[in-house]
Amino acid sequence: VMFPLARNALKRFKIRSIQPIRSRQKHKKHSPDFHDKYGDTVLASGTAFCVVAWVYTATQIGIEWNLSPVGRVTPQEWNDE
């Protein structure tokens, strides 16, 4: 249970802190900035670059991707000495 005085103070504090922000936002005209204009394009091109770089790296540097040794490994003769 909150005391009435504290509850009143919190209400006033919240109203005072929100009202100036709302009035500033209302009067400000939102003009498109760099992120609004080019944000999606930059994100898409960065993603495409990373995908291309990884695909090139994975296919060109000669990594063997966990290929099964079945058929390539032959057992050696057992030495009983």
- CA distances for 26 relative to 20, 21, 36, 52, 55, angstroms: 10, 9, 19, 44, 48
pLDDT attached to residue 61: 85
Which regions of the chain are under pLDDT 70?
Answer: 1-2, 10, 12-29, 81
- CA distances for 81 relative to 5, 25, 69, 74, 76, angstroms: 95, 89, 29, 21, 15
Please, what's the b/e burial string for 2-19 (b: 16 or more CB within 10 A of its CB; e: otherwise)? Answer: eeeeeeeeeeeeeeeeee
Q: Where are the domains of the chain?
A: 1-27
pLDDT attached to residue 21: 59
pLDDT attached to residue 40: 95
pLDDT attached to residue 14: 60
pLDDT attached to residue 12: 66
